[in-house]
Structure 1
Amino acid sequence: MKYLIKAKIEVEGLVNKHDIIGAIFGQTENLFGEEFDLRELQDRGRIGRVQVEVKHQGTKTYGEITVPSNLDRVETALIAAMLESVEKVGPYKARIHVYDIIDVRAEKIKKIIERAKEILRIWSLEKTPDLREVLREISESIKRGEVISYGPEKLPAGPDVNKSDEIIIVEGRADVINLLRYGYRNVIALEGARGKIPDTIIKLAKTKKAIAFVDGDHGGDLILWELLRVADIDYVARAPPGKEVEDLTGKEIARALRNLVPAKEYLAILERKLKGKPEKPAKPPAEEKPETPPKPETKVEEAPPKPSKPAQPKAEPVIQIEVERVEIPPSIVEEIKQLSGTLEAILYDKEWKPIDKVAVRDVYNVLEKIEPGKVYAIVYDGIVTQRMLDIAAQKQIKLLIANRLGSIERRPQGVSILTFSDITS
């Protein structure tokens, strides 16, 4: 049946359901000819059995009427109006009110869609990758294939950086890949330099129009401070506040490159900005961003050194998460080195005590059962996917350390990311 007519009936007397059904068939008989008579329609399977449920209250009868219909929408509406034309049941006055006509097919489709959603939640994407994720991965591999190594420092760059009259200087390899995705092939990264700007960048900036394009955070300020002091940069472009170049859309990149600021003007702004913070005076940074992307959501960086003392290297990686400074113990660094190639995951609490060790393919099922806030960090020999980021945010996990970074559409707040190479290099 396509539709289900639902109506309420009120009778000014005590009757049973057979009396109501008899009144419906009797008082609608031949109203619109024999072909549209309810008995005739029932015999031809065009309407189903008329169902009536009744209850008595005092001297009145109340009931619920349902009539299945295999007619079209117009004919079904006419049947509903015919029901409301019934005025008596036996000797008693009666009123029938149609309050709903349910599209049975629509309800069935709705149930199918809800069930499909449930199946998708249960069905592990580790077993059957989502088509869009597969396509993104293929696209990423093509873009990564376009990245070249340029100069003695083997800096990540686009294929046109040498022949173009203009270059875009970004922070890391992930930034280069993102700009390549949107057709910017004259891009080169500072990646690989620690404590100083690569000579290759300085030489290119002397002969080409140079645009510095950095993240919209304090780390971007520090990189610009050093770059503008030693290289002949023409213009500065910034990602929106709080965003990283590697995460920008094509429109955001184009907007940032339209709103260029002359380098000399920006250097003056930057100098005032840094000098305006007593705890971070205007000095060169001790260390640039991590050598190998992807960059964590919260930057891995050290405070700028004082001019009178050289920068002191750290014994192990330090991650700055909001206002809390967290050190990764050397023992955990060793475990990370041993984890590569095992396809295993280790879950840690805030004191870096292991909570559980599972296969990477089972990590989603394990996390589903863990209460939010119990797990502080996950180290796993796998890929940081959008699904992993979403469940980490849901379970209040602060840090993901994985073998490599996959395609990500959005990065939840509060979850930082590192790769094995960030820790062990």
Structure 2
Amino acid sequence: MEDTSKYLIHANVTADGVVERSDVVGAIFGQTEGLLGDDLDLRDLRQSQKVGRIDVDVSSTHGQSHGHLTIATSLDKVETATLAASLETITRVGPCRADIEITEIEDVRAAKRKEVVERAKELLQTGFDDSVMSSEEILAEVRQHVRVEDITEYEGLPAGPRVTDSDAIIVVEGRADVLTLLKYGIKNAIAVEGTNVPEAVADLTANRTVTAFLDGDRGGDLILEELSQVGEIDHVAFAPAGTSVEDLDHHQLFAALRNKVPYDAVSGLNAPREAVAATDGSTTPAPPPSEDVVTPSVDESTCDSSEGVDATDGERGEPVSESEPEPEPESEPEPDTIYDHATAIVREGTDRVRFLDDENGVLEETDAVDTYDTLSTLESAPSAVVLDGILDQRVLDLAADRGVDRIVARSLGQFTKRPTGVQIHAIDDVAETPPDST
């Protein structure tokens, strides 16, 4: 009955004498019998469960009794009010003169509705996940998951999938470092898992171009020393002082690899980390000057990456006499292919866009967010567009209208139609086979 009741009748009971609960209940049934007809007879309503249990709480003090009674009903409003009014006709309880006064008819459903409203407010505040991922974040998370899934083992050691067949390998400290490199597309790393370099890694270095990429702490120094004794090292790179390879972001990691130095240039130093270029692109501290020191040339690629990223070394240095001025560093060559432009714009995370002519020269460069406006206002239509952002349908349609031949973007959005006259590429899709310059 408690689950189906609609209303609760509350009443106060006062008696001029000592009475008990049974006296009150008996008076209710006895003095209302036949008062409201057969349809509202209290005994029949109890048997049909339209009226629930009659709860009475009564106590006596100083020769008088005071109490409270509650009756649950599933009747409608009119019937409930009529039944409640009939209780006030009771004048005696047991042998005593008594008075019953209705104090309230409580709508049980209203109380439940109030609970529902309060709970709904709580759920609105805490029950929903308000985080909405952008298209770019979704694509980045999926790519990262795929790359992390690529981790393999080489002789029981964590390694990237290209370690077994790549001409160049990167030796790092632990599994987390391999995962970090995989996240950024470098698949030719292997971990030594501690300062004791395994024999499998030592053997692997015998016929590969080897870069030791180590943490910027004492542990990295110890691994470099051990690796140099049991294997062969070609280049050395360190994370910034006090940091680990696994903690580096995309730009820090590739900057560290670009600034690697030949192992021969630091092998005799007490602090090889200080001789390795800082990851912020600052000038590499030079070894102690000597007339016999010649910096060897290194042309091999360090990274075997799904992103096609190369960490390059400087050219062979020549002995410099005190009377000769030091040669000025050569300026970085201008990009001459679409893929070179994609590497400069997209790989470096510039949030820029370049519009190229038929000879891959730059017609215009601006912020990626202004791609549509700039493309629509260019006097001469570009042959190619290189975009550090997500290529959407709106820009693609405009490019087709303006006669653009090719677009290379960081990632591709969802397209309802693809114009046949425009070739579109995501940078990751063309990393292994860069588009030609035509």
- Does TM-score exceed 0.5, indicating one fold? no
TM-score (norm 2): 0.31
